[in-house]
Structure 1
Amino acid sequence: MENLQEKSMLTAPLQRRSFLQFAGAGAAAMALVAVGCKKDRNNGPMASGVTLDFKDDFGVLNYAYALEQLEAAFYIQVASKPPTTFSPAEKTYFQDIQFHEIAHREFFKKALNTAAIGSLEVDFSTINFNDRTSVLNAAKAFEDLGVAAYNGAGARIKTDAYLVAAGKIVSVEARHAAYVRDLISNGSFANAEVVNAQGLDMALSPDKVLAVAGKYIKTKINVINL
């Protein structure tokens, strides 16, 4: 009964199928705007890496897309072969988080259309995917970083529709972060590491986020107009 209650807490507010439907519909609308406003924009993969140009909303969306690629790749690897010490409930939770992150990634890819950066090459060599502690600590780092990244980038988004979409996604990321933190240490989901004195989640600027995320990304990321 406890496992069922825990699963309901994580998945009931945003089930996999409903989120994927939301992402597909929202992305279609956003893609029309992206194509109509910037048909000639192309940040595809190059020998020198990818470029995040923060002069407009597309740069911020590609920034979010880069982070979602990283998270999706991590959770896909965890879900495909979770640590043997994961409980059945934990295996299910991480599978659900995997699908959430894939949905986030595809949301931005479809929304950006031809303006999307290319696929990033990741490097998880510092993570021991056979070890529960290593996986949980990495998940905590990715989720905390993701929440702080969205919070820090929100002020840079000028289009209301994009801001609303980012707000919906960061709320899901915060649920992931809280869940993982509680697995590591019960009650730590909103401690001083992630919540400030005003009771708000921490926010980090893109340069600080990318400095941390860069440890896990092989592809060179060029940042301009930040």
Structure 2
Amino acid sequence: MSHNLSPGSQPTAADLDKPLYVPIKRRSFFMYAGATAGATALVLAGCSKDDNNTPGTVSVGSGDVGVLNYAYALEQLEADFYTKVRTGSFYTGSTITAAEKQILDDLYYHEVIHREFFKAAIGTNGAIKALETVYPANTFSTRASVFGTAKAFEDLGVAAYNGAGQYITSPGYLFLAGKIVSVEARHAAIIRDLLTENSFVGNDVITLTSAGTSSLATNNSPANSSLERSMTPSEVVAIANTFLADGSKLDVSGLR
């Protein structure tokens, strides 16, 4: 059965709002946070990735397909991280609390759903390959390293989605990205709160400004606003690529 849209057609918000059902072991707050949508409804007409990438890297392509591949790559990284967390010595050891384990389980299931959603949505002819990861030694052995790395990934994911919205031309895809980034922000908030209470509103991730302090406004954020900061694709992959093996590092030069 073909999953291609007819020429010129676009997915609607109603289509994209259908739940994406995949096998999971648990139901939790995160499962109902509204991030997932129907993969059968999100399909690309004539999707193909741009293979004119820098040697040894993986090009995400250009246009809406490129943005979706960019998101797919980041979701691969996050899903891989939480998969490895669940076999690491901190998770399997005696110092982790039941609440911490439940949170890590929730994030694992959610990121796997995100990864599989994008893989199905883009399709085998357009999706980039499965990426190989590398991590610093002892990443999964201590509470500080597990939650510190999780914080870095979740903050990066939120900033990446915020920065990628400008490259999306389809309203349906923009709708989808908005839903997912709202859940990634929840992930970031709970991880940050586990590390330092109330740090999810820190000025390192949110531009906090008020009347009469316009000099504090950055990243095009006006005074009297509290906006999450964004990062360009090139800024994001400069960090993400440090966790990707040679041959899996990302080339986002097609995103303009």
- TM-score normalised by the chain length of structure 2: 0.74
| Larger RCO (CA under 8 A, 6+ residues apart) | 1
Residue 29 of structure 1, CA deviation? 0.9
Partner of 2:115: 105
Separation (CA, whole Å) in 1 of partners of 2:31 and 2:253 = 37
Deviations 1:78-129 (A, max 9, x none): 1233613221110011011000000000111000002100000000134521
The DSSP-based 3-state class of the residue aligned with 1:200 is strand
Partner of 1:118: 129
CA contact (8 A) 1:19 1:100 kept: no
The within-5 A match list for 1:192-203 is 192-197=203-208, 198-203=225-230
The DSSP-based 3-state class of the residue aligned with 1:118 is coil
The DSSP-based 3-state class of the residue aligned with 2:169 is coil
The within-5 A match list for 1:6-85 is 11-12=28-29, 14-15=30-31, 22-23=36-37, 26-31=38-43, 34=44, 37-39=45-47, 41-42=48-49, 48-54=56-62, 56-81=63-88, 83=90, 84=93, 85=95
Aligned CA distance change for structure 1 residues 87 and 43 (closer, same or farther; 3 Å)? farther
Partner of 1:152: 163
CA contact (8 A) 1:144 1:194 kept: yes
Separation (CA, whole Å) in 2 of partners of 1:38 and 1:82 = 45
The DSSP-based 3-state class of the residue aligned with 1:86 is coil
Separation (CA, whole Å) in 2 of partners of 1:28 and 1:157 = 20
Separation (CA, whole Å) in 1 of partners of 2:137 and 2:64 = 33
Separation (CA, whole Å) in 2 of partners of 1:90 and 1:173 = 17
Separation (CA, whole Å) in 2 of partners of 1:224 and 1:27 = 27
Residue 42 of structure 1, CA deviation? 4.5
Structure 1 window deviating more from structure 2 (119-128 vs 178-187): it is 119-128
Deviations 1:39-87 (A, max 9, x none): 5x2568x983421223x10000000000000000001111233613221
Structure 2's unaligned 5+ residue stretches are 1-26, 209-224
Task: Specify the code of the residue in structure 2 equivalent to 1:203.
Answer: S
Separation (CA, whole Å) in 2 of partners of 1:147 and 1:82 = 28
The list of structure 1 runs, each at least 4 consecutive aligned residues, that deviate by more than 3 angstroms after superposition, is 46-49
Partner of 1:4: none
Residue 175 of structure 1, CA deviation? 0.5
Name the structure where helix makes up a greater proportion of residues: 1
- TM-score normalised by the chain length of structure 1: 0.84
* Aligned Cα root-mean-square deviation (Å): 2.2
CA contact (8 A) 2:158 2:185 kept: yes
Task: Specify the code of the residue in structure 2 equivalent to 1:220.
Answer: K
Structure 1's unaligned 5+ residue stretches are 1-9
Share of identical aligned residues, percent? 44
Separation (CA, whole Å) in 1 of partners of 2:172 and 2:184 = 19
The within-5 A match list for 1:154-169 is 154-169=165-180
Partner of 1:222: 251
Task: Specify the code of the residue in structure 2 equivalent to 1:62.
Answer: N
